Amino acid sequence: MEGCKVTGRKKIIQDIEKMARRMRGHVLETSLAAGASSSHLGGGLSIVDITATLYGAIMKFDKDNPLWSERDRFILSKGHGCLGYYTALVEAGFISIEELVQTFEKTNTDLPGHPVMNKEKGIEFSNGSLGMGLSLGIGVALAGRRRNSTYKVYVIMGDGECNEGSVWEAIMAAPHFKLDQLVAFVDRNNFQQTGANEEIMNIGDMGQKFTSFGWNVIEIDGHDIGEIYDALSKEAVSGKPTAIVAHTIKGKGFSFSENDNKWHHNILSKSQYELAFTELNND
């Protein structure tokens, strides 16, 4: 029986890895089509493996019934990383790749450069002003408790937005309310819009800080699908929210974009697109 479990886990992880690869391809297609409007390539790529795992194996949802009351809720607090979100919604069946490529950041689009709430398309909340997502997640988790619902709430924050005081108020509040159905990721890619975190505002050991506030803390390689899957598969610690500090690489997946902060927001050229697809296919 144990062997069956291992085999099942291996297959799940392989399927998620394939999904993440397709998502990176979708990111490239969308970024190239965006043209001069550019896109937040780096921060989207750093969370692809996390969103692939959430939408590919962990979260409860029904694309044919997007308002199902017991669906799990996902909140992208770092709204500029939306390409790591929209591409997961493509794979989950909420939107088509054609819609994403053809309408991303276009006038009157449903898929702008920061998510705007559209539950029919699987977009639960509007996000863009940094530092708000975790507080929103706390409210959603409290609402679920009052309704005796069993859904879980997943939030992805950027490490740069953790400079915001509102984030630390939320980090203090979640354990106070014993929100064990809340899972918060920190995308620890060590950069923010204008430079390295340690130069702008060094936030130090994030895991230690969350622990001191009373969270259940798990630290992982944010690009190791097995580690992400195992962290999300663990039983919740009763009365404690979970913080998953995911050590990631900004621009993950392509030689020209990894750890290069100019890809926080940049225009993808045709030659870079072709190089990236070559690397993706040879990976």
Q: pLDDT tens-digit profile of 264-279?
A: 889 999 999 999 999 9
- Report the pLDDT averaged over residues 195-214: 93
Average pLDDT over residues 103-127: 96
3-class DSSP assignment, residue 19? helix
Is 122 a residue whose pLDDT tops 70? yes
Better-scored residue on pLDDT, 129 or 235: 235
| pLDDT for residue 6 | 55
- Quote the DSSP letter at residue 113: S
Q: What is the pTM of this model?
A: 0.96
HSE-CB at 145 with a 13 A cutoff on CA atoms is 15
| 196 pLDDT more than 80 | yes
SS (H, E, C) 220-232: EECCCHHHHHHHH
Residue 187 has pLDDT above 90, yes or no: yes
Residue percentage of the chain with pLDDT more than 70: 98
Is pLDDT of 95 > 90?
yes
**Residues in CB range of 266: below 8 A, 6 or more apart:** 38, 39, 41, 42
CA separation, residue 239 to residues 122, 174, 215, 229, 245 (Å): 29, 10, 9, 22, 19
Tell me: the pLDDT tens digits for 153-172? Answer: 999 999 999 999 999 999 99
Sequence-separated (6 or more) residues with CB below 8 Å from residue 76: 82, 84, 85, 115, 127, 133, 156
pLDDT digits (tens, 9 = 90+) for 32-87: 999 877 789 999 999 999 999 999 999 999 999 999 999 999 999 999 999 999 99
CA distance 191 to 114: 19
Kindly tell me if the per-residue pLDDT of 96 is higher than 90: yes
- Residue 37 structural domain: 2-282
| Structure confidence at residue 129 (pLDDT) | 86
The CATH number that applies at residue 158 is: 3.40.50.970
Question: Which residue's entry shows tokens 């996390």?
Answer: 50
For residue 5, the model assigns a pLDDT of 55
Mean pLDDT, the chain, rounded, equals 94
pLDDT at 4 over 50: no
Predicted confidence at residue 282, as pLDDT, reads 87
- Total domains present in the chain: 1
Would the pLDDT of 208 be above 80?
yes
The CA radius of gyration of the chain, in Å to the nearest whole number, is: 18
